[in-house]
Amino acid sequence: MAIIPVTIKFRSAAGAAGAPAALLTAELGYNMADGFLYVGFGDDGNGNATSAKAIAKDDFKIAHRVPDGGAALQVLRKNAANNATEWAELAAGAIYTAGAGIAIDGANAISADGTIARLNNPAFTGAPTAPTPAGADNSTKIATTAYVNTRIADLIGGAGAAYDTLVEIQALIEGDDASFAALTATVGGKMAKAANLSDLTDVAAARVNLGLDVIAGGTF
């Protein structure tokens, strides 16, 4: 494996923070006072940078493939023993840090297991939770069990246990309840106002009851 030496200017920890006073174009400079790595930017026509840009900070890592075409991945890092910068070969996962549900293989490829949910069409398992929307919410938010139970309770209101389900109300309507059946029969015997009295069972009796059988001393 070929190693290419890299020279980096530096300012000691006892110096001032900030970019080096002067850098060549694309030259690197590390400030031990603030932990920033700078690169010379621009060219004044004589190879001198016109400004310095901060590109990394302790503990910085700049990775590249070795120039001979090998698969080894190297990183530019600070040597803790002597504060020198150096290229060193990386072990698997050295650039990224795995976490819960996230794995990194020997080629630094990142993968997620079944505990990580996708944003698009996720298929949840277990017991996922979500914020409970306000009772009157009419949006596309997720309706939790707490939200649904609250809305059902609002619908039932103060109805007693014998009247708080649709099947109980259906039984009442169909006459299984004696008091409700009597009420249904009473309502069913009422006249229809749109019939304009044409649905009277006994017209003559109705006239007598209304006092219409005697007009101006006569009788119908």
The per-residue pLDDT for range 189-220, each reduced to its tens digit, is 787 788 778 888 888 887 887 777 765 455 55
At residue 133 the predicted structure's pLDDT band, cuts being 50, 70 and 90, is very high
Structure tokens at 172: 């009442």
Please give the average per-residue pLDDT across 119-132, as a whole number: 88
Please give the average per-residue pLDDT across 127-138, as a whole number: 90
> Does an H or E element contain 76, and which?
strand 73-78
Amino acid 144: pLDDT: 94
pTM (predicted TM-score):
0.37
Percent of the chain with pLDDT over 70: 73
Contact 39, 66 (CB under 8 A): no
CA distance 24 to 130: 55
Residue 169: is its pLDDT beyond 60? Answer: yes
Please give the average per-residue pLDDT across 104-109, as a whole number: 72
Name the residue ranges covered by the structural domains of the chain.
1-96+103-128
Residue 69: is its pLDDT beyond 60? Answer: no
> How many CA within 13 A on the CB side of residue 141?
16
Please give the average per-residue pLDDT across 5-17, as a whole number: 80
Residue 66: is its pLDDT beyond 60? Answer: no
Residue 14: is its pLDDT beyond 70? Answer: yes
Render pLDDT for 39-59 as a digit per residue (tens, 0 to 9). Answer: 888 999 999 999 888 877 766
Amino acid 55: pLDDT: 78
| Widest pairwise Cα distance in the chain | 134
Percent of the chain with pLDDT over 90: 12
Cis peptide before 59 (omega within 30 of 0): yes
Which of 120 and 97 is assigned the larger pLDDT? 120
> How many CA within 13 A on the CB side of residue 148?
5
Determine how many CB atoms are found less than 10 A away from the CB of residue 28.
22
Question: Which phi and psi (to 5°) does residue 48 adopt?
Answer: -95, 140
Q: Which residues contact 123 (CB under 8 A, 6 or more apart)?
A: none
For residue 157, count CB atoms less than 10 angstroms from its CB and return exposed for 0-12, middle for 13-18, buried for 19 or more.
exposed
Please give the average per-residue pLDDT across 77-83, as a whole number: 70
